[in-house]
Amino acid sequence: MKYLVHHDAVLAQPPEGPLVPYLESFAVWVSEQGYTACSLRSKVRTAAGFSKWLEHNGVGIRRIRAEHVTAYLRYRARIYRSKNGAQTTLESLLHFLRSNQIAPAEQASERLRSPIELCLQDYVTYLREVRALAEGTIITYVPFVRAFLVECFRDGKVTLSCLCARDVLRFVRHHAHHLRPGRAKNMTNALRSFLRYASCRGDVALDLAAAVPVVPNWSMPDIPRAIAPDQTRRLLASIDRRTAVGRRDYAILLLLARLGLRAGEVVALELEDIDWTEGCLTIRSCNGLHNELPLPTDVGTAIAAYLRNGRPSSSCRRVFLRARAPITGFTSSAAVANVVRHSLRRAGIDAPTGGAHQFRHGFATDMLRHGASLDEIGQLLGHNCPQSTTIYAKVDIKALRKLAVPWPGGKR
């Protein structure tokens, strides 16, 4: 006797176990993420097998944990040769159960965490809630601070009051010469941030942040690597806008080229950020601020074409979605960089780099050529600090030659 779970998923026999009441809603949830009927059937069968195993091992719905998934996968590996995406399916099943409060959220056991990890956890909370730093900055700082604490305390008790200037200097001197100037500067910034945090907590009496040495780093050593205007035109012309993916990629590339957005800003763009009546965009910058920009006609037309005839049906509010299941927003700026890299490769364009930031540089340098001031450029790019914009004041030798005054007396 067959058992109908979903119109695209039929089981050979009635399912058993604590997950039976939720198999249909899980199948609907999977279907809404854009998976094919074949993938949906496979995922439902895996969930039904897991449910039967839970029943056999006496595990109720409120007791399901990640270790049960691991144990079931080991059991399943003895029966089936191919994993067939079982681990991914069960991880998504756990996410579904927890997000709907069917199964309890996993509680990390603090007694299993080392003193260093507990210290880092408090530091990260401080960076998020007190300093309101961007996640990218936190991700950059934490590994350096972890390495510093490991060198100072090993795996023992973390006693910040025992730190001294000698510990700070020894760490910087040992690691700085292994790092590039930019990374070394990140390391010293991270140490200063952590030591100021320790001082705010009252764990450190002295101002150890002042003991962190300055790493020599020549400011703005290179001319920004900007994609040339003709390369941008060739790239945009090469996109096949007859396909859904092509319409998506064309809109993304136009946003990069016409507005100089960062890749992360394109990823974070949501449907509510587009004001079609006023013709403007609200950009969510990496520093947590919102910047309102005008929406050029060609950019708006490209986005509208994607939304009408390319964007998959999804409850996700992000403007740009993945083309393959699970249908959701891009997880990181790397997805936009991949769009740029693949588009450049298909068009056969030898661009300065393979990333998205070259369009931002191209946008700024083109504005500079047309007489825009650095303040105007910085405002459009969403720079908080004027120094961030001064990099575009640098010129290449060819441009400088055009402005050079002839030598008195001419050639000899």
Looking at the structure, do residues 200 and 156 belong to the same domain, yes or no?
Answer: yes
Looking at the structure, do residues 33 and 87 belong to the same domain, yes or no?
Answer: yes
Q: Residue 307: what pLDDT? A: 96
Looking at the structure, do residues 176 and 266 belong to the same domain, yes or no?
Answer: no
What are the tens digits of pLDDT across the range 332-351?
Answer: 888 999 999 999 999 999 99
CA dihedral 292, 298, 300, 306 (to 10 degrees): -140
Q: Residue 219: what pLDDT? A: 52
In angstroms, the first-to-last Cα distance of the chain is 101
Q: Which domain holds residue 50?
A: 3-99
Task: Check pLDDT > 50 for residue 110.
Answer: no
What are the tens digits of pLDDT across the range 9-48?
Answer: 778 888 999 999 999 999 888 888 888 888 888 899 999 9
Q: Does any domain span residue 216?
A: no
Q: Does any domain span residue 224?
A: no
Q: Residue 17: what pLDDT? A: 93
Looking at the structure, do residues 136 and 278 belong to the same domain, yes or no?
Answer: no
Looking at the structure, do residues 245 and 303 belong to the same domain, yes or no?
Answer: yes
Looking at the structure, do residues 252 and 332 belong to the same domain, yes or no?
Answer: yes
* The domain boundary residue, chosen from 67, 99, 131: 99
Q: Does any domain span residue 39?
A: yes
Q: Which two tokens stand for residue 411?
A: 């050639």
Looking at the structure, do residues 334 and 375 belong to the same domain, yes or no?
Answer: yes
Looking at the structure, do residues 250 and 298 belong to the same domain, yes or no?
Answer: yes
Q: Quote the mean pLDDT of the chain.
A: 85
Helix boundaries (H) for 315-373: 334-347, 357-369
Task: Check pLDDT > 70 for residue 186.
Answer: yes
Q: What is the CATH number of the domain that holds 116?
A: 1.10.150
Q: Residue 248: what pLDDT? A: 97
What are the tens digits of pLDDT across the range 116-160?
Answer: 999 999 999 999 888 888 777 888 899 999 999 999 998 778 899
Q: Residue 274: what pLDDT? A: 95
Q: Does any domain span residue 107?
A: no
Q: Does any domain span residue 409?
A: no
Q: Provide, rounded to the nearest whole percent, the portion of the chain with pLDDT above 70.
A: 85
Looking at the structure, do residues 307 and 353 belong to the same domain, yes or no?
Answer: yes
Task: Check pLDDT > 60 for residue 376.
Answer: yes
Domain count, the chain: 3
Q: Does any domain span residue 406?
A: no
Q: Does any domain span residue 408?
A: no
Q: Residue 7: what pLDDT? A: 73
Q: What is the mean pLDDT of residues 173-192?
A: 88
Looking at the structure, do residues 386 and 263 belong to the same domain, yes or no?
Answer: yes
* The domain boundary residue, chosen from 70, 99, 128: 99
* The domain boundary residue, chosen from 75, 99, 123: 99
Q: Does any domain span residue 411?
A: no
Q: Which two tokens stand for residue 224?
A: 């920004």
Residue 324, phi-psi category: left (phi > 0), alpha (psi -120 to 50), beta (remainder): beta
Confidence of residue 402 (pLDDT cuts 50, 70, 90): low
Confidence of residue 195 (pLDDT cuts 50, 70, 90): very high
Q: Residue 354: what pLDDT? A: 87
Looking at the structure, do residues 270 and 374 belong to the same domain, yes or no?
Answer: yes
Looking at the structure, do residues 53 and 128 belong to the same domain, yes or no?
Answer: no
Q: Residue 114: what pLDDT? A: 85
Q: Which of these, 151, 195, 186, 190, lies nearest to 171 by C-alpha position?
A: 151
Q: Residue 271: what pLDDT? A: 96
Task: Check pLDDT > 80 for residue 81.
Answer: no
Task: Check pLDDT > 80 for residue 69.
Answer: yes
For the residues of 178-191, what is the DSSP string, one character each?
TS-HHHHHHHHHHH
3-state secondary structure 234-280: HHHHHCCCCCHHHHHHHHHHHHHHHHCCCHHHHHHCEHHHEECCCCE
